[in-house]
Chain A
Amino acid sequence: MSLRHRLGGSVPVLVAAVRNVSRAKLRSALAAAAILIGVVSIAVVGAGGEAFKSGQLQRVESQGATNVYVFPGPDREREYFTREDLAEIQETVGTTGVVATTTRDGQWHRRSDRSEQVSLNYVESAAALRAITPVARGELPSTWRRQAVVSARFASDHGLATGDRLRISTGDESVQTYRVVAVLSEPTGGVGSAEVYLPARALDDRQYDRARVLTGSADEAELTAALLREEFNERRDRLLVFELTSLLRLFTQVVNGINTFLVGIGAISLVVAGVAIANTMLMAVIRRREEIGVLRAVGYSRGAVVRILLAEAGLIGAAGATAGVVLALPAVMVANAAFLGDPLAFTPGAVGYLAAAFAFGVGISLLAGAYPAWRAANERPVDALRG
């Protein structure tokens, strides 16, 4: 007596179903293949779309979704922020950090006979610069006077390294020399990125053309933006307030919509697969009509016949769905690698789609098996056995 035989005895319905499914191997395999196609399309589209979405979200968030960007509004008399304006903004947002910057065009005197235009960004302090941009190489000085920080691209375009000197002038002022102390890492922080970063104390007017409020999360950014609009823009638009969260929400909605639509198409292919399974099962119960009559005659209940046939449909579905998920996994891993930089970075949404595709594949199969099973179980054995 084999172990397999003993084990099989505890799941007799499954044993019977396996026997029956393997009797019509080709037909069962074709029906399973139909389920496989549906499961693959749902899993790949759904989970791949999730990877795309969260990849884009991460990108956008890394580029400042936790920031609120504030500019002087059209109803202000001045087109810049003074230190008083910044204090007012700081008061409204409480302890949250505010970094004011201003962008100017400058001249870089590369050699005595030649100069080219550079975009300059003046930042209040080294700490403030560190808060808005990641530094790749070099050390920022604690008291920032005659030092410059350059963007990675600017450094590589011009072969600059820390220690090099930059001779820079703005407007009609005299040329000042700065030493490059640090290089930023790419990508530099989204809105208002510049080529060369200089200390705000180098500005004689201390006029800022923008401020950034640094919050801890995208949600906090959205709240802070609302707070600023409420405080400053009740009657007149004194501030222009931007935050990425509401854009992100729109983006998420659009991507979700497209994804749902594509997954819906996949789901239709699964419904078609369900029809294939229903057809297979219907053929099976017609071909096995007498055999099922014998089972009923020797004491199998209608319920037992239904269970065996549903198990057959479920097995075909589970085989197709398992193969489908196995085939979908590499495709989803490619999407993960492309959008998230790590093939194993399965997002919860992607795992959800994989699980849902599997469950839907098996569920459709059971549903498809229900009518043939019911029909077979309700045939009178005398009729089935009348030769």
Chain B
Amino acid sequence: MATADEPEPILRGQDVVREYRTGGQTVRALDGVDFAIRPAEFVAVVGPSGSGKSTLLNLLGLLDVPTSGRVELGGEDVSTFDQGRRTRTRKRDVGFIFQSYYLIPTLTALENVEVPRLLDRTPVETRERATELLERVGLGDRLDHAPDELSGGQKQRVATARALINDPNLLLADEPTGNLDRDTGDSILDLFDDLRTEQDVAVVTVTHDEYVADAADRVVRLIDGEVRG
């Protein structure tokens, strides 16, 4: 139920189950999870390795569909979307920061940030926006650097800028501050705060870092595919 201080969720999950079948075995990575992600919310997902955090993030990002249960986007069951619509929805609504960043090694920082909008035929606007985002994450002086000329923290900031190029409503990050120093971690957290207050972007981040979890509005604790506490 939406109340005055609780806006409609962007994304909602009910009794979400995701099973993987490998060989003869079935692994239940998520075992009946409920969730709701609201605009401007900052949610931290924590849990031991193998507890289903990445699986949950993939479902939130429409990269995957549940084996059973429902994931709803704007009231619609996403499992009814065809591939094309899921792809378009991802492009419009979701920004991903992947655990290993996955920057393209032969492109500059700026070109990497532009990648999600490369096919849009708006080269001028895309370049302006990408430059602006890199400046915002503090890499205004590293636009033309290749990924291997950047530190881990800088790569991560490029990955963050790339996630933001399409102005998503939902930013998903898989252990974004995993092995970063505190200062870099702080600057990323500050950026998340800005995005939430300025653009109502919801942020869901998987983390092992209690420091990040403390900064979140809400912590989802996963153990063996179930939400605890």
Interface residues of A (CB under 8 A from B): 1, 5-6, 8-10, 12-13, 15-16, 19, 23, 290-291, 293-302, 304, 380-382, 385-387
Whole-angstrom CA separation of A279 from B76 in the bound complex: 43
B58 touches A15 (CB 8 A): no
B208 to chain A, nearest CB (A): 16
Contact size class for B?
20 to 34
Tell me the bound Cα distance from A386 to B66 in angstroms: 17
Per the bound structure, the CA–CA distance linking A268 and B126 in Å amounts to 46
Residue on B nearest A299 in the bound complex, by CB: B91
Check B157 for interface membership: any CB of A closer than 8 A: no
- What separation, in Å, do the CA atoms of A8 and B120 have in the docked complex? 11
Is B84 a contact of A301 with CB atoms below 8 Å?
A: yes
Contact with A along B118-151 (1 / 0, CB 8 A): 1111111011000000000000000000000000
A5 and B123 CA atoms in complex are apart in Å by: 7
- A1-B127, A10-B121 are known contacts. Are A297 and B106 too (CB-CB below 8 A)? no
The reply to whether B122 and A9 contact each other, CB–CB distance below 8 Å, is yes
Most-contacted residue by chain B among A12, A16, A296 (CB, 10 A)? A12
List residues of chain A with CB within 8 A of the CB of B63. 297, 380-382
Q: Could you tell me if A298 and B124 are in contact, using CB atoms closer than 8 angstroms?
A: no
Taken residue by residue from 73 to 104, chain B's Cβ proximity to chain A (1 for < 8 Å, 0 otherwise) reads as 00000000001100110111000101110101
Q: Are B123 and A387 in contact (CB under 8 A)?
A: no
Is B162's beta carbon under 8 Å from chain A? Answer: yes
Cβ contacts A to B, 12 pairs, < 8 Å: A9-B121, A9-B126, A12-B120, A15-B118, A16-B119, A19-B106, A294-B115, A295-B115, A298-B90, A299-B91, A299-B92, A382-B64
Query: Is B88 within 8 A of A8, CB to CB?
Result: no
In this assembly, does B51 line the interface, its C-beta being within 8 Å of a C-beta of chain A? no
Q: Which residue of B lies closest to A384 (CB)?
A: B102
With a cutoff of 8 Å between Cβ atoms, the chain B residues found around residue A12 in the complex are: 118-121, 123
Expressed in whole angstroms, the minimum distance between the Cβ of B111 and any Cβ of chain A is 8
- From known contacts A5-B123, A297-B61, infer whether A385 and B98 are also in contact, taking CB-CB under 8 Å: yes
Contact (Cβ within 8 A) A382 B116: no
Cβ-defined partner of B115 (8 Å) among A10, A298, A382? A298
Residues of B within 8 A of A (CB): 54, 58, 61, 63-64, 83-84, 87-88, 90-92, 96, 98-100, 102, 104, 106-107, 115-116, 118-124, 126-127, 162, 166
CA distance A16 to B116 in the complex (A): 12
The minimal Cβ–Cβ distance linking B209 to chain A, given in whole angstroms, is 19
Question: What's the Cα separation between A15 and B119 when bound, in Å?
Answer: 10
- Which residue in chain A gives the minimum CB-CB distance to B57? A382
19 further A-B pairs in the complex, CB-CB below 8 A; given A1-B124, A12-B118, A300-B119: A6-B123, A8-B123, A9-B121, A12-B120, A12-B123, A13-B119, A16-B118, A19-B106, A19-B107, A294-B98, A298-B91, A298-B96, A298-B162, A299-B87, A301-B88, A380-B63, A382-B63, A385-B102, A387-B99
Task: Report yes or no: B90 in contact with A297, Cβ–Cβ below 8 A.
Answer: yes
Chain B residues with Cβ under 8 A from A298's Cβ? 90-91, 96, 115-116, 162, 166
CB distance from B92 to the nearest CB of A (A): 8
Residue from A15, A295, A298, A301 having most chain B Cβ neighbours under 10 A = A298
B106–A23 CB distance below 8 A: yes
Chain A residue at minimum C-beta to C-beta distance from B165: A298
Task: Determine the distance from Cα of A23 to Cα of B146 in the docked complex, in whole angstroms.
Answer: 13
| B211: min CB distance to chain A, Å | 24
Which residue of chain B is the closest to A386 with respect to CB atoms?
B54
Contacts of A6 in B (CB 8 A): 123-124
The smallest C-beta distance from B124 to any residue of chain A, in angstroms, reads 6
Q: Which of A5, A19, A295, A297 contacts B127 (CB 8 A)?
A: A5
Cβ contact within 8 Å between A299 and B88: yes
A303: nearest chain-B partner, CB-CB: B84
Q: Kindly list chain B residues whose C-beta atoms are within 8 Å of the C-beta of A302.
A: 83, 87
Chain B residues contacting A8 (CB-CB under 8 Å) are 123
Instruction: Report the bound CA distance from A294 to B61 in whole Å.
Output: 12
Among B83, B98, B119, B120, chain A packs the most CB atoms within 10 A around the CB of B119
Q: Is the CB of A382 within 8 A of B58?
A: yes
Q: Kindly report which residue of chain A lies nearest to residue B59, judged by CB atoms.
A: A382
CB distance from B49 to the nearest CB of A (A): 12
- What's the nearest-Cβ distance from chain B to residue A303, in Å? 8
Contacts of B99 in A (CB 8 A): 387
Q: Which residues of A contact B100 (CB under 8 A)?
A: 387
State the CA gap A1–B112 with chains docked (Å): 17
The CA-CA distance from A16 to B114 in the complex, in Å, is 12
Report how far A97 CA is from B84 CA in the complex, Å.
Answer: 76
Q: Is the beta-carbon distance between B127 and A294 smaller than 8 angstroms?
A: no
| Minimum CB distance partner of B89 in chain A | A299
Question: Considering the chains assembled together, what is the distance between the CA atoms of A19 and B87 in angstroms?
Answer: 24
Collect the chain A residues with CB atoms within 8 Å of residue B64's CB.
Answer: 380, 382
In the bound complex, residues from chain A placing their C-beta under 8 Å from that of B119 are 12-13, 16, 300, 304
Distance between Cα atoms of A1 and B115 in the complex (Å): 17
